[in-house]
Structure 1
C-alpha cells in the first residue's frame, strides 16, 4: 500500500510515521508513507496557497491550483498499475463520519492520497472535481487536517497483513466485530485484592470464548447500545442481551 499526505506541515506527519506500528510497517515495506508540501506547488513568488473568499467573509480559503498540482505530481510519480485509481481523501468536518468499517474498506486499497487543509476551508472545486471521499473523525473542528489524517492512517495501516505482531489483534478490536471489545487481564492474577476472573485462568478455552462474547455484549449494551442496532448478532447473542437487560432493569417498587 502507498499513502501520500498533502500537508503544509510535513514534520507533523514524519514523526508519527517513524514510530510504533507505523514505523515498523514502513521499515518492513508493508506500506509506503510519504508527505508532500503543497506549498511547493503554489506557483507564485510569495508561495501563498490561500486567498480571501469571493463574496467576502472572514478567514482564508485554500486555492485549488496548488492542491491540484500536488495531486497530479503524486500521480505522475506513482509506480502502480495505471488501472488502479487512488482514493483521494479530503479531511474536513463536513465529511462522512469515520468508522471501523470504512477503515477496513480503505485498507483494501493500493493507493490513498490524503489532503490536509488549514484556514477557513477549501475552494469548492477541490471537492467537486478532485477528491473521491470526504471524511471527518468527529463533530468538532481542529486547526488542520493532519491529526485527523494520521488517525485514519494509523487505523488503516494496522489492518495490513504483517503490521501487527499478533494477526488476531485487529480482528477482535472494538468495532471490528460490531461490538465493543471484552475486558482484558494479565499478570499478576491478584493485584491489591482485585482478582482476575476465575474463568480466564481455568484453561477451558471454549468457556472463555463464551465469557468474552457475553462481556462484549454487556459492555456494548452499557456503553454504546446504538451499536447493537447494526451489529451481526446470533440468536444466542440476542438471548444473552435479553437476559442482561432484565438483570440491569431497576426492580419495580411493588409496595
Structure 2
C-alpha cells in the first residue's frame, strides 16, 4: 500500500518513518510513504500557499491551486488506473472519528493521499472537488494535519504482517474484535516485587484457564469503569457470556463500577 502525504512540513514526518517498531513496515515496502512539499507547487518568488479569507476574519486559508497542482503530480506519479484513483483524506474536526474499525479499513486497503491542512483551513472548493474522506482524531484542534497523518500511519503499519515481533500482539489490543471491543487488561513483568507492590498471584501459577479468566475480568472492570458504553455495546451485540455477566454483577455489588 502507498500513502502520499501533502504537507508544508515534511521534516515533522520523516524522522518518524525511520524509528520505532513500525519502521519495519516502511523499510520492507509493505507501507510505502512519499512526502510532497506543497510549496514546490506554488508560484512566485515566495512560493505562497495561503491568502486572506474572503469575508474577513483572523488567520489565513490554504489556496486551492497549489493543492490541485500537487495532487495532479501525485496522480501522475501513482499512475492509478482510471476510476480507481487513491482516495484523498483530509484531517479535519468535522471528519469521522478515527477508531479501530476505521484503522482496520485503511490497513486493508491500498493506501491514500493524506492532506495535512494548516492555518484556518483549506479553500472549500478544493475540498468539494477532490477530498473523498475526512478524518478526525477527536474533539480538539491541532496546528496541522501532520500529527494526525502520523497517527494513522502508525496504526495502519502495526497491523501489517511481520511488523510486530509477536503476531498476536495487536490481536490483544484495546478495541480489537478479539476482545469484543473492550479495553485491554493490565500487564506485569519482572521483578515480582517492586516498591512494595507484587504481581497478582494468578499470573504466577501457570493455570492458563485461570489467567485467561482473570484477564477477561480485568478487561471488563476497566472498560466498565472508564468506557461503559463499550460494555453496553458488547452486551447488545450478544458478546458477553454468562461468566462475563456474573463478573459485572459481582463488581457492581462490590461498588467497583
For 2:187, the equivalent position in structure 1 comes to 184
TM-score (norm. length: structure 2): 0.91
- Residue correspondence of structure 1 range 1-255 to structure 2 within 5 A: 1-78=1-78, 84-176=84-176, 177=179, 178-231=181-234, 233-236=239-242, 237-248=244-255
Residues 246 and 119 of structure 1: CA distance in aligned 2, closer, same or farther (over 3 Å): same
1: distance between equivalents of 2:213 and 2:256? 23
The alignment's C-alpha RMSD in Å is 1.8
2: distance between equivalents of 1:48 and 1:106? 32
Deviations 1:138-162 (A, max 9, x none): 2111111111111121111111111
In the TM superposition, structure 1's runs of 4+ consecutive aligned residues that sit over 6 Å from their partners are none
Q: Give the drift of 1:182.
A: 0.3
2: distance between equivalents of 1:136 and 1:221? 25
TM-score (norm. length: structure 1): 0.91
1: distance between equivalents of 2:186 and 2:157? 24
Residues 239 and 69 of structure 1: CA distance in aligned 2, closer, same or farther (over 3 Å): farther
SS, match of residue 121 in structure 1: coil
Residues 247 and 118 of structure 1: CA distance in aligned 2, closer, same or farther (over 3 Å): same
Residues 175 and 6 of structure 1: CA distance in aligned 2, closer, same or farther (over 3 Å): same
Deviations 1:175-234 (A, max 9, x none): 223111100011112223321111111111122111111110001111111222323522
2: distance between equivalents of 1:182 and 1:44? 56
2: distance between equivalents of 1:224 and 1:32? 35
- Unpaired segments of 5 or more residues in structure 2? none
1: distance between equivalents of 2:116 and 2:60? 15
Q: Give the drift of 1:242.
A: 2.2
8 Å Cα contact 2:80-2:86 kept in structure 1: no
1: distance between equivalents of 2:233 and 2:91? 26
Residues 207 and 130 of structure 1: CA distance in aligned 2, closer, same or farther (over 3 Å): same
Q: Give the drift of 1:80.
A: 5.6
- Unpaired segments of 5 or more residues in structure 1? 251-255
